[in-house]
Amino acid sequence: MTALPARLDSKERVAPPVALLAELTHRCPLGCPYCSNPLALDARADELDTSEWARVFSQAAALGVLHAHLSGGEPAARHDLALIVAHCAKAGLYTNLITSGIGLTVDRIKELADAGLDHAQLSIQDSDASSADRIAGYNGAFSRKQAVAEWIVQAGLPLTANAVIHRANILRAGAIVRLAVALGARRVEIAHTQFYGWALANRAALMPTAAQAESAIAEVEALKKTYAGIIVIDHVIPDYHARYPKACMGGWAKRGLNITPSGKALPCHAAETIPDLVFWNVRDRSIEDIWTNSPAFNAFRGEDWMREPCRSCPRKTIDYGGCRCQALALSGDAREADPVCHLSPHHNKVLKVAVLAAQGEDAGAAAFSYRRMPLREPA
């Protein structure tokens, strides 16, 4: 059970968020087994409509948000995507489309660029076509993405390639960086799998061995020097093989917020896994009210909620105790230090899970449990 702190005094100043990630829909043609969406997906009939999203972005811009990340599911499943982009641009927000590429055409990309889109992030599942299609759970995804990357670059939009690294593609982490260069990306994000939600459900199939992780990390770090000035490589190191946790979300309710397709405001994409948190909805409350007063956002703000060893640790202002959702998933209590930290009393569980998952009989060969929600789900 997670005891929630009292609501912050409304006079207490909370710095405004920098970014808002909008899950415009959970519909998606792909079925990636590490999807960041929750296991229970929002139905199309519950999605915010165009005017509701417009209100959200206007309120966010007025509060001080600078970046609008348009995500999903697959945001291109929304027929009003260009209208939403145009509204964000009018509100002065920097717009970033996070897409699988499926559903985008050369005309649609041009329409988005004309509407004011600033940047596109395209997911890449692997550098090997058949493996990429298997990971995505969609035949032909790899070749379609190559065409989409070309259209994005031709439209004059800066392109980032995103790749989630796991057991099925870790031997090609370097090849994925080279693919991103060939596609004309200016930036590539090589993110080793974070085990929440769908990735947690698929952990046996996705967990690499420690040796695989170390070798991939060394290869990608070396490529940063090789490709300096050609492509920026953002490298997210695998949690389970680290000594200290990451500052998840840059700190709970410190820098950004996520809005689900049905309007729930979350401090992070996995926050709904934490029991007893109450999430306010943008249909009922303004973004400013949610950011400042929502019990879920205030639950782990600041340091009052921290226990030892975080409470007296000098790194608490660097990593904020790590990830609350991972603390819950691995220790059973979201107020604990992230067990990835070697100072956590639960750290042995991480080591055990990492070793057992990677050495299990079915490791790497286990069938994926795909996340499925078709584009044409009836409204």
For the sheet containing 265-266, what is the strand order?
232-236, 187-192, 159-165, 119-123, 94-99, 67-71, 19-23, 256-259, 265-266
Q: Does 164 bind ligand FES (CB under 6 A)?
A: no
Residue 324 Cβ, how far from ligand SF4 at the closest point, in Å? 11
CB 95 within 8 A of CB 119: yes
CB 34 within 8 A of CB 164: yes
User: What is the distance between the alpha carbons of residues 238 and 340, in angstroms, rounded to a whole number?
Assistant: 10
Residue 224 binds which one of ligand FES, ligand SF4, none, with CB within 5 to 8 A depending on kind?
Answer: none
Which is nearer to ligand SF4, 68 or 334 (by Cβ)? Answer: 334
Q: Which stretch binds ligand SF4 (CB under 6 A): 6-14, 70-78, 313-321, 362-370?
A: 313-321
Q: Does 309 bind ligand SF4 (CB under 6 A)?
A: yes
Per-residue binding letters, 264-283, with ligand FES (x by CB under 6 A): ----x-xx------------
Say how many C-beta atoms besides its own lie within 10 A of residue 111's C-beta.
Answer: 17
Q: Which stretch binds ligand FES (CB under 6 A): 81-89, 126-134, 214-222, 246-254?
A: 246-254
Per-residue binding letters, 334-353, with ligand SF4 (x by CB under 6 A): ---xx--x-x----------
Q: Which stretch binds ligand SF4 (CB under 6 A): 32-40, 86-94, 184-192, 312-320?
A: 312-320
Specify which residues 28 forms β-bridges with.
373
CB 17 within 8 A of CB 314: no
Residue 249 binds which one of ligand FES, ligand SF4, none, with CB within 5 to 8 A depending on kind?
Answer: ligand FES
Q: How far is CA 133 from CA 76, 139, 202, in A?
A: 19, 5, 17
| Backbone φ/ψ region at 322: left (φ over 0), alpha (ψ -120 to 50), beta | left
Residue 270 binds which one of ligand FES, ligand SF4, none, with CB within 5 to 8 A depending on kind?
Answer: ligand FES
Say how many C-beta atoms besides its own lie within 10 A of residue 295's C-beta.
Answer: 16
Q: Which of 285, 315, 346, 349 binds ligand SF4 (CB under 6 A)?
A: 315
Q: Which stretch binds ligand SF4 (CB under 6 A): 50-58, 123-131, 178-186, 309-317?
A: 309-317
User: What is the distance between the alpha carbons of residues 277 and 256, in angstroms, rounded to a whole number?
Assistant: 17
User: What is the distance between the alpha carbons of residues 356 and 204, in angstroms, rounded to a whole number?
Assistant: 9
Residue 54 binds which one of ligand SF4, ligand FES, none, with CB within 5 to 8 A depending on kind?
Answer: none
Q: Does 206 bind ligand FES (CB under 6 A)?
A: no
Residue 315 binds which one of ligand FES, ligand SF4, none, with CB within 5 to 8 A depending on kind?
Answer: ligand SF4
Which is nearer to ligand FES, 83 or 242 (by Cβ)? Answer: 242
Relative orientation angle of helices 106-115 and 81-90, to the nearest 10 degrees: 20
Residue 91 Cβ, how far from ligand FES at the closest point, in Å? 27
User: What is the distance between the alpha carbons of residues 275 and 350, in angstroms, rounded to a whole number?
Assistant: 21
| Backbone φ/ψ region at 274: left (φ over 0), alpha (ψ -120 to 50), beta | beta
Residues at the site binding ligand FES, with contacts judged by CB under 6 A: 196, 248-249, 252, 268, 270-271, 323-325
Residues at the site binding ligand SF4, with contacts judged by CB under 6 A: 244-245, 309-310, 313, 315-316, 319, 321-322, 337-338, 341, 343
